[in-house]
Amino acid sequence: MVSIKVTNDKVKYNSDNTVLTSSYTYQNSIVEQKGDIYNVKPFTREYEFNVDLKVPKTGLLLVGLGGNNGTTFVSAIEANKQKIIFNNKEGEVKSNYFGSVTQASTVKIGIDESGKDVYVPFNSILPFVNPNDLIVSGWDINGANLKDAAKRAQVLEYDLQSKLGSTLSQYSPLKSIYYPDFIAANQEDRADNIFNIDSNGKIDQSNKWDHVETIRSDIKKFQSDNKLDKVIVLWTANTERYSQIIDGVNDTSDNLISSIKSGHKEVSPSTIFAVASILENVAFINGSPQNTFVPGVVELAEKEGSFIGGDDFKSGQTKLKSVLAQYLVDAGIKPLSIASYNHLGNNDGFNLSSNEQFKSKEISKGSVIDDIIESNSILYNKELGDKVDHTIVIKYLKAVGDSKIAMDEYYSELMLGGHNRISISNVCEDSLLATPLIIDLVIATEFLTRVSYKPLGSNDSAKSLYPILGYLSYWLKAPLTRKGFQTINGLTKQKQGLENFLKALVGIPISDELRFEERL
């Protein structure tokens, strides 16, 4: 295992090396614009951070345990834990966590004496949960055990399924809630494992507060039975339609609680799971594009001091789009249109063939370039209504299964009336791209719950980070942000912010590329 020791006066450890305390000077500038004049006022703020270095025994509850992502996630954990070697048509494959930032990427921490960059594994900078140690369970509207669910998903190689079969058969999902109005009608046949059924065998949505309490009981039992220090809940179930934001219904936490108790039709299953998690002080992450975090949920998280993160996994096509759009705009090239087409054949695609669910995905995919476009007023004049013509199409095609086919065309304006056209075809093995994101989101979330801070020199007690975990944005298409702050979608900015935060916590200077060592 790699070990890092930072030698400076900004870091110190307590007597038993279980708490790291570091100081950091944050620098930025307040800019005031008056016509063509920009008045720049640099400022600094000094903070003290505390990191609990004890890695807790952590459990993960997946909503959608029996879906493609859920079965692939559990299979990945078990395959790596058991160090399984299996065969595909190309030969032997050793189980690994490729695609995971926390498990398979590196971070630059400085240079050696010759000026060469030095990189270390991402997960060596500070103590993180090992994914092999996660205890996993969850809910699903379908009751199939994970051996049968993995066979149905058609994601994993046959040899790997065979070697994991006896292990996966021991995983069976808890009963979940099913509100038919929120997911596509074509999912009804799968819904054989639900608890909101009345004495007449009908779906009961009259008192959704009972559903909150049932989920809270499931969380408590899972934590108690497995003697866990911490639990995280993550939604990787079907994409829901958007909930209407209605004054008096879901606009405040009190109104939302009242609406849940009255069984209001605009309270979604994902919101029920979020509320239950918040009330249990359990972090909740939304990996799908619907607006789970209505204003009342965010306010409740703030009141309870519970952590939330979302929305929608950023895996293949959208991640590439956030990089390519940033490259074009930063290069002074003006994208005029971006056309994105997908077809896929897994159950996610089947659910998205319904218009209401597709709209949720369209919104999350469409917002990924917003802040990038906003960053360049030379290319895009707000007063003239300049914007990118951005079109997104998703089609269900059963034959391709979990191999999502993504085709994009970027049509841009060059100098003197010239044009540039970039066309990309991207075949994404959907669940094998999404599963590493789940790993990273869970591990990063758990870690961030162990960080506290206060102004340097203050006598106040250190407080936890803000409930919306912005550092998760690297893995999410439509990241939540604190009210009044700009959402950042640019992938490079997101990754740089995450890495710099970790470096600041251990006293490593954040990276710049001035390269004075070679230029002075």
Give the number of residues written for the chain.
Answer: 520
User: Cα angle at 125 between 517 and 49, to 5 degrees?
Assistant: 95
Query: Max alpha carbon distance in the chain (Å)?
Result: 81
Amino acid at 111: I
Identify whether the C-beta of residue 273 lies closer than 8 Å to the C-beta of residue 233: yes
Q: Give the residue-averaged pLDDT of 193-213.
A: 93
Note the pLDDT tens digit of each residue in 135-153. Answer: 999 999 999 999 999 999 9
Instruction: Judge whether residue 1 has pLDDT over 80.
Output: no
Give CA separation, 200 vs 197, 203, 214, 486, in Å: 8, 9, 20, 49
Q: Is the pLDDT of residue 440 over 80?
A: yes
State residue 358's pLDDT score: 64
CA distances from 205 to 178, 195, 279 (A): 9, 11, 20
199-208, 293-302, 379-388, 478-487: range with lowest mean pLDDT: 478-487
Which region holds residue 464: left if phi is over 0, alpha if psi is between -120 and 50, else beta?
A: beta
CATH architecture of 58-86+126-313+433-442: 3-Layer(aba) Sandwich (3.40)
Domains 58-86+126-313+433-442 and 317-430 share a fold: no
CA dist 192 → 46, 176, 177, 347 (Å): 55, 10, 10, 16
Crossing angle of the two packed helices 146-153 and 68-81, in degrees rounded to 10:
110
pTM of the predicted model, to two decimals? 0.92
Question: Residue 386: is it exposed, middle or buried by C-beta count within 10 angstroms (0-12/13-18/19+)?
Answer: middle
CA-angle at 193, arms to 245 and 346, nearest 5°: 75
Whole-angstrom Cα distance, residue 129 to residue 9? 28
In three-state secondary structure terms, 400 is helix
C-alpha distances (whole Å) from 476 to each of 106, 205, 318, 448, 483 are 20, 30, 9, 16, 18
The answer to whether residue 222 scores a pLDDT higher than 70 is: yes
- In a 3-state reduction of DSSP, which class is residue 196? coil
Q: Find out whether 65 and 77 touch, Cβ atoms under 8 Å.
A: no
Do residues 49 and 451 lie in contact, with contact meaning Cβ atoms separated by under 8 Å?
Answer: yes
Q: What is the pLDDT of residues 317-361, one digit of tens each?
A: 788 888 899 999 999 999 999 999 988 887 777 776 667 776 666
Q: Is 256 exposed, middle or buried (0-12, 13-18, 19+ CB in 10 A)?
A: buried
Residue 249: what are its φ and ψ, rounded to 5°? -115, -60
Cβ of 411: how many Cβ atoms within 10 Å? Answer: 17
Q: How far apart are alpha carbons 316 and 65 in whole angstroms? A: 22
For the chain, helix, strand, coil in percent to 5 are 35, 25, 35
For the stretch 447-491, pLDDT in tens is 999 999 999 999 999 999 999 999 999 999 888 888 878 888 888
Ramachandran region of residue 206, left (φ > 0), alpha (ψ -120 to 50) or beta? alpha
d(CA 373, CA 379): 8
In angstroms, the CA 68 to CA 71 distance is 5
Interval 53-111: pLDDT, tens: 999 999 999 999 999 999 999 999 999 999 999 999 999 999 999 999 999 999 999 99
At 374 the pLDDT is 87
| pLDDT value of residue 364 | 62
Residues 433 and 416: their CA atoms lie apart, in Å, by 40
Cα separation, 223 vs 211, in Å, equals 19
CA 150/CA 158 separation, integer angstroms: 10
Which tokens hold the place of 42?
A: 């640099």
Task: Return the active site residues.
Answer: 312, 361, 404, 477
Residue type, 431: S
Q: Kindly indicate whether the domain formed by 317-430 is annotated with CATH number 3.40.50.970.
A: no
pLDDT of residue 365: 66
Q: What percent of the chain has pLDDT over 70?
A: 97
Q: Residue ranges of the domains in the chain?
A: 58-86+126-313+433-442, 317-430
The pLDDT score that the predictor gives to residue 315 is 84
Cis, peptide link before residue 408, omega less than 30° from 0: no
